[in-house]
A and B are shown apart, each in its own frame.
Chain A
Amino acid sequence: MLVVNDLHASVEGKEILKGVNLSVNPGEVHAIMGPNGSGKSTLSAVLTGNPAYTVTGGSVEFCGKDLLSLSPENRAHEGIFLSFQYPVEIPGVSMVNFMRAALNAKRKYHGLDPLTASDFLKLMREKRAVVQLDNKLASRSVNEGFSGGEKKRNEIFQMAMLEPKLSILDETDSGLDIDALRIVAGGVNQLRSENNATIVITHYQRLLDYIKPDFVHVLYKGRIVKTGGPDLALILEDKGYDWIKEEIDNQQA
């Protein structure tokens, strides 16, 4: 589904990704862990086409298409979704209008007619239930005045609405209390199928107790330096990242 090959990227002239290789197949959950500043969020930004980042080398193939040549909106239409670490507040744009514009743009891209108002509202109601998102939030401006937990639930709600093939969850656990974490993780698990895949970016093992990964990768200094099964996350939780840093820094020295 996703093949990242020797990806290099920079922001404001500073190289952050220095040759990332990653393959994700349908049905899989990949966790990407790593110390602060290793490039985790940059990877998600580059995969979704954030114009603030410049790709300086490598390639990304998504479902047979050259992902890097697509605009952010077309990547979304092809099935990429990013749950933001810090969801953006958009005062004055109602959740309803926002979701309708997003969904109908995707339908148009795939040659489908826009949803009728009643079908759309029915879908909203159905998908809100996935993360127990209050109807009141759905009628407000996008993320405006939402608590940290509500913002993250709203991200998963949007994911449920858009039914992506590949979801990237960027530090979805940050700022969540344990109840909100359960709801959010529960929502993600409900949406999992053998046809879609998930990349979970996180600092901590905690989230992986709820969203079980098939693979755990460690990103350090802009490269994936270690890949393992779910056990690797437990080792990291126990021992921290220092032993990996030492190992890698020694190799380079």
Chain B
Amino acid sequence: MGALKQYIDFYRTNSAEIDANSAPALNALRQKALEALDGKELPHKGEENYEVTDVDALFAPDYGINVNRRPLDVDIAEAFRCDVPNMSTWLYVAVGDIYRSSRTAGLNMPASVIVGSLREAAIAHPEIVAKYYGKYASLDDAHVALNSLLAQDGLLVYVPSGVVLERPVQLVNIMNAAAKIMAFRRILVVVEDGAQARLLVCDHTQKVDEDCLASQVVEIYVGADATFDYYDIEETGVHTHRVSSLFVHQEAGSNVLVDGITLMNGTSRNDYRIDFCGEHAETRLLGMAISNGDQHIDNHTFIAHNAAACTSNELFKYVLDDNAQGAFSGKILVAPDCPKTEAYQSNRNICASPTAKMHTKPQLEIYTDDVKCGHGATVGQLDQEALFYMRTRGIPYDDARTMLMQAFMSDVIDAVRLDNLRDRLHHLVEKRFDGSLALCRDCGNACHNNSLNNKNNNK
């Protein structure tokens, strides 16, 4: 049964400690997860929707799991590196999978709102966690089942009906270990009817030379006429791998934006599943990946239009250089009797080197007549005419190349609905392309990064 076996054995041996260091509302899911894993394997490369990514292999190494919740040494100041200027957030920090609050956590937050450790919330407010936890993430997915079997804590964002959170909530995930370690992370977001909230998640790695793995399951419930934005920025290291499964449940009239941004990583596989369960709901699903060296980024999206008159608009963009490998597979399903559906999907990619590879697979499955749907996928190189035009104006080749790559990403960045984050992303992307992204500069291994603006040999 491949890589799963060691985790199931681990669970059987340590289930008492796992339960003891978690909470009943989370423990309640473990038996179901174990049953769901019976006879299953983690996806192997080559299976449908896993054409280029071997999830099983990602879980195969013998990683350490911090069952007994020992505090990990971490420089919290580092977490503030991703402080977005002029944007004040309610900040929470997770080191591995241990959650901590910062000075700004909960400060002046409406009293009815709960944000913080999922484990603590599951003890203090078991009725809320039990009502939503595990209800949207499908245990049919082996990764979700594995995460549900072993996750002990996470972040809860609970915004009751009609409450508007003025400031975004920010979660900074920090991986840091002297040895190979993995974290089972969980995020549960509940935005009840008419409420509004935004969550910004930033992944960072300290001590980037050690292999580590994050398994992440995100469940998002968005009630009727509620609004929710989710931004997920991965800015880790070339030895940090991640498997993430995100589920969004949208009620009627809700409006959701989900944005997955991969700036620096090792191997990442992100699944995005959106379910429309009420009419006139809207989703903007965005993704952006910048990869070079031997980085690998695979995004899989599935948007299910199960209700009439919903709108989904999906845009994923990749720039791949060196030997980077990218994959995108996106499916839009329009169920029977869902007239007035509008669904658009677009995946645009640039392979900036001859050895970079992009795999793209758009899919539309439509069972209703009266719909507007469209999809498009392109893989290309930088526009040689534009490059020459810029050079005739005196812009050096490397700079022109960087400007074009940045320009290619501009529409997906401009779709961000948080003004200060949008400006910050333009800046981060610029730094990413010119090789000066702080983390990468500091790390001996991630220095491939420099090559993105060093293509003199291609002249």
A residues engaging B (CB < 8 A)? Answer: 48-52, 71-73, 75-77, 80-82, 84, 87-93, 97-99, 101-103, 105-106, 109, 141, 158, 162
Contacts and interface: CB of A to CB of B under 8 A. Distances in A.
A93 B407 contact: yes
Contact of A102 (B385, B395, B407, B411): B395
A37 B459 CA distance: 27
Given A98-B403, A101-B390, 16 more contacts: A71-B391, A73-B392, A77-B394, A88-B386, A91-B411, A92-B407, A92-B408, A93-B403, A93-B404, A101-B399, A102-B395, A105-B395, A105-B396, A106-B394, A158-B393, A162-B393
A150 to B, nearest CB: 16
A155 to B, nearest CB: 10
Nearest to A99: B393
20 contacts: A49-B392, A51-B388, A72-B388, A72-B392, A73-B394, A77-B394, A80-B392, A84-B389, A88-B388, A90-B386, A90-B390, A92-B407, A92-B409, A92-B411, A98-B403, A99-B393, A101-B395, A101-B399, A103-B394, A162-B394
Contacts of B396: 73, 105
B395 A98 contact: yes
Interface in B292-313: none
Nearest to B403: A93
Shortest Cβ-Cβ A-B pairs, 8 listed: A92-B407, A76-B394, A92-B410, A72-B391, A102-B393, A88-B389, A93-B407, A106-B394
A102 B394 contact: yes
B291 interface: no
Given A71-B397, A71-B459, A73-B397, A90 B407 contact: yes
Contacts, number: 82
B392 A81 contact: yes
B160 to A, nearest CB: 41
Contacts of B393: 76, 98-99, 102, 158, 162
A97 B403 CA distance: 9
Contacts of B389: 84, 87-88, 90
B392 A101 contact: no
B395 A92 contact: no
A105 B392 CA distance: 12
Interface in B376-424: 383-386, 388-397, 399, 403-404, 406-411
A84 B393 CA distance: 11
A14 to B, nearest CB: 19
Interface residues of B, number: 24
A226 B296 CA distance: 60
Contact of B406 (A84, A88, A92): A92
Contacts of A82: 392
Contacts of B395: 73, 98, 101-102, 105
Nearest to B402: A101
A87 B388 CA distance: 11
Contacts of B411: 91-92
A88 B395 CA distance: 15
B14 to A, nearest CB: 51
A75 B386 CA distance: 17
A76 B403 contact: no
Given A91-B407, A92-B408, A98 B392 contact: no
A104 B340 CA distance: 52
A6 B365 CA distance: 63
A97 B404 CA distance: 12
B390 to A, nearest CB: 7
B186 to A, nearest CB: 37
Contacts of B391: 49, 71-73, 76
Nearest to B385: A88
A71 B388 CA distance: 10
Contacts of A103: 394
Contacts of A141: 407
Nearest to B393: A102
Contacts of A81: 392
Contacts of B385: 88
Contacts of B397: 71, 73
Nearest to A103: B394
A99 B403 CA distance: 12
A165 B287 CA distance: 46
A101 B459 contact: no
A105 B403 contact: no
Interface string B17-28: 000000000000
Contacts of B404: 90, 93
A109 B393 CA distance: 13
